[in-house]
Structure 1
């Protein structure tokens, strides 16, 4: 499997610091395993993550139905890691298994900043959202 296994199935910009920001992520996967939803900021600014108490709302939809909904962990209550001392810094906000029970080929993960991550305001416009196989497995 090697490096291909850890290749993200989604990566895109998501301004989690902005109230009402919403992102729909089509879930197309190759491996049946545990996946992580992460947010990343461009610098290794651990203080911003440790002080962040906000959460994101999420829901998984398929075939016109909501399969699961809830709130993510906040960056201050989860695992965070950085690939280098210069960043980026990532936090795992949600972990889930694929295939998702009851889902068809049209599975979508929708995340929304109802309680925005305001401690990350200074990174507005450069916050990334990623879905990838869990590194902690």
Structure 2
């Protein structure tokens, strides 16, 4: 059975002018795309199957990510159903020279595991074998219920 920490993925995207809106900050569509890609990787690591996006819930854009900064995307599986994989996603803006970070975006995605023909596939049970894993899971569940 996969452990929550096995699904933890962090990725970075440097915000370029072609990623920006009229205000010189990352366009929300690009941030959503980056989160979807990293979330799918986390879900696939958990399920051992390809995963497709089923829903995006509670997408909260709290502050912008300026051009030139880095978008740091974090994802991990916090819950699983029969074929569904629930992933907590967060984005931070990071100053490349100093590493200073602040959270910008938070969301919960649901993916469905599918086979090569697109048919839903059952997923394993999620385990949390560490205090850190359990803290991450509880944080996701509490945020989900807000």
TM-score by length of 2: 0.30
* Greater Cα radius of gyration, structure 1 or 2: 2
The structure carrying a bigger strand percent of its residues is 1
Q: Of Structure 1 and Structure 2, which has the larger fraction of its residues in helix?
A: 2
